[in-house]
Amino acid sequence: EVDVEFGIANGHTLPAMQLGTPIEGLPTQRRFRVRRQDTFALWILGFAGDARVVSPPALAARVTELAAQTLARYAP
């Protein structure tokens, strides 16, 4: 299970905020059952910072690592 926090509700994030299951008391977070963590991490990156993995910490770190690799690839 992966908990994701959505930082903004807009046309890009609203559909994703309807997926997964709600987390009681945390209206900006959803819980997802994930089979392929790297694929899920890439999906999260597609939100350009408007979504972040809260837990598990290992997957949150993986998303950060993938973002850093992407930035390094396109840095001047």
| Position 75 pLDDT exceeds 90 | no
pLDDT (0 to 100) of residue 12: 86
27 burial level (CB within 10 Å; 0-12, 13-18, 19+): exposed
Percent with pLDDT over 90 in the chain? 82
Given this model, what pLDDT does residue 11 score?
85
What does the alpha-carbon distance between residue 13 and residue 59 come to, in Å, rounded to a whole number? Answer: 20
Average pLDDT, the chain: 94
Mean pLDDT of 13-32: 94
DSSP string covering 29-69, please? EEEE--S-HHHHHHHHHTTTTSEEEEE-HHHHHHHHHHHHH
Inter-residue contact 23 to 31 (CB < 8 Å): yes
Residue 8 has a pLDDT of 83
More confidently predicted of 11 and 20? 20
The pTM score is: 0.88
Q: What is the spatial distance between Cα 68 and Cα 19, in angstroms, rounded to a whole number?
A: 27
